[in-house]
Amino acid sequence: MKTIDSKTVQEKLAKGEDLNLIDVREVEEVQEGKIPGAVNIPLGLIEFRENELDKNKEYIMVCRSGGRSGQATQFLQSKGYDVTNMEDGMLGWEGPVEK
């Protein structure tokens, strides 16, 4: 499984890179703040909403600490998606958040 840390994600966004971020936390958690531009698809809905994703794009999966996003990464990887787990999750995020 490919991994990336929150600091690297923040640096890429600061450089203007267009990243496809999927936040797999529950809706209530995301309402407390998410990385700007991240799309919320709770982990329990990933298998039902995977058709919203494009196998030709790279995705970075985000959760609170990296556990749930790791599960989502493994699931989507098994389905042929190019996915990377943000291993330290929102606990490691020091950048801006949107509510």
Which residues carry out catalysis?
63
Cα(61)–Cα(23) distance, integer angstroms: 6
Is 7 within 8 Å of 92 (Cβ atoms)? Answer: yes
Cα(40)–Cα(46) distance, integer angstroms: 10
